[in-house]
A = this chain, B = another copy of it.
Amino acid sequence: MTVIDIPEDSLFGLANLPYGVFSTPGKKPRVGVRVGESVVDLAVALGDDVFTQPRLNEFMAQGHARWVRVRQQITELVSGDVPDDAVHPVAEVTMHLPIEVADYVDFYASEHHASNLGRLFRPNAQPLMPNWKHLPVGYHGRSGTVVVSGTDIVRPNGQRKAPDEDAPTFGPCRRLDIEAELGFIVGTGSELGAAVHTADFATQVFGAVLVNDWSARDIQAWEYVPLGPFLGKSFATSISAWVVPLPALEAARVPTPVQDPKPLPYLQEGEPWGLDIDLAVSWNGHEVSRPPYREMYWSPAQMLAHLTVNGATSRTGDLYASGTISGPEKDQRGAFIELTWGGKEPVRIGEEERTFLQDGDEVTITATAPGTDGTRIGFGEVSGRILPATT
């Protein structure tokens, strides 16, 4: 038996206990939970077949009451002796995409980000569209290209047309960007025709991950009218390997910024679901931004209520992301197009300067939040390295 060591300053203490899918050499991917610098194999430790699955979907589909019981079981387990063969050093496992993604939706819930992008994409118009403060604007993305942190990102090819060009040309993206976001994973879905109330967020959503919504700004700018982003986004969306369960975020709950005008009743919430999460974006190892999630205008409970208010089902494995997290300050912007103001104001990366991503560049997004026991909890990271375009 092993007693798992949890350093006092660990971001993966008992207040966190995130779920992931891992493998060890010669064995199939299965469900584990991270504790300190260890991964606990839940199938071995709890003897439950649902954790032999290569994704969390089957466990998530068992519902909220079951998630509560298992979290309690894990807490008891890792507070005492754990069977030796259930414990692996995190450095020795390979992490996999933790969920099979059903539908993927991306929102646009930061007022600072939406305003900045409005100024950059539509310089002669009001930065915020008239609908923006009435509803959480969002769109569907490509669920088949959601990949786990650490997956290399091939620079996409596509049509690009600069304002001073007569016609589009085809070739590698010249303005490759990131979007630092938080993503929410639906654990149990809803029926066709049944809207989900904001109060149901806490029992239907399983947990949260970091998201990097890689964005080809030149492709996007040319294609996106009138039906929205498509190939400028669909080449890859990275998520962190560890899913932080919603109860681990209890101490991070804060009110959203004041919402004025008052939202329509279906978007009102009895309890706040703003989240005091600090993100950090690092570019080739140099921190360039610290986006504050607490600045997000719309809460994730409001996003879920909105996306089902027309009767659309939600399903186990649905992933919906917040949209880029940007704060009011320049060094709080979660996309490079904002940070470098459309590429006009380069940022320093050590000895170098950057506007958009170059081949070989690596971006890592991390995040922490207050835990329920006075410690801080961590999301791990979502990272990716840019490979040259295929020819």
Binding site for B on A (CB under 8 A): 102-103, 108, 118, 121-122, 129, 131, 134-135, 137-145, 147, 154, 156-159, 161, 167-170, 189, 192-195, 216, 219, 222-232, 234-236, 261, 264-266, 306-307, 309-315, 318, 390
Residues of B within 8 A of A227 (CB): 108, 137-139, 224, 228-229
Assess A312 versus B167: contact at CB under 8 Å? Given A131-B225, A141-B140: no
Distance, CA A273 to CA B261, complexed state (A): 50
Residues of B within 8 A of A159 (CB): 131, 134-135, 264
This chain: how many copies in the complex?
2
Assess A231 versus B307: contact at CB under 8 Å? Given A121-B226, A134-B168, A192-B154: yes
CB distance from A227 to the nearest CB of B (A): 4
Residues of B within 8 A of A234 (CB): 140, 307, 310, 312
The answer to whether B167 and A261 touch across the interface, beta carbons within 8 angstroms, is yes
Distance, CA A189 to CA B142, complexed state (A): 14
Distance, CA A121 to CA B225, complexed state (A): 13
Residues of B within 8 A of A154 (CB): 192-193, 311
Beyond the given A134-B167, A154-B311, A311-B390, please list 14 additional residue pairs across the A-B interface where CB-CB is below 8 A.
A129-B226, A134-B159, A134-B161, A135-B159, A138-B230, A140-B140, A142-B312, A145-B313, A157-B311, A158-B309, A227-B228, A231-B306, A231-B312, A235-B312
Q: Which of B131, B161, B230 contacts A223 (CB 8 A)?
A: B131
Residues of B within 8 A of A314 (CB): 144
Distance, CA A154 to CA B103, complexed state (A): 21
Distance, CA A314 to CA B231, complexed state (A): 13
Q: Among the interface residues A145, A189, A216, which one has the most CB atoms of the partner chain B within 10 A?
A: A145
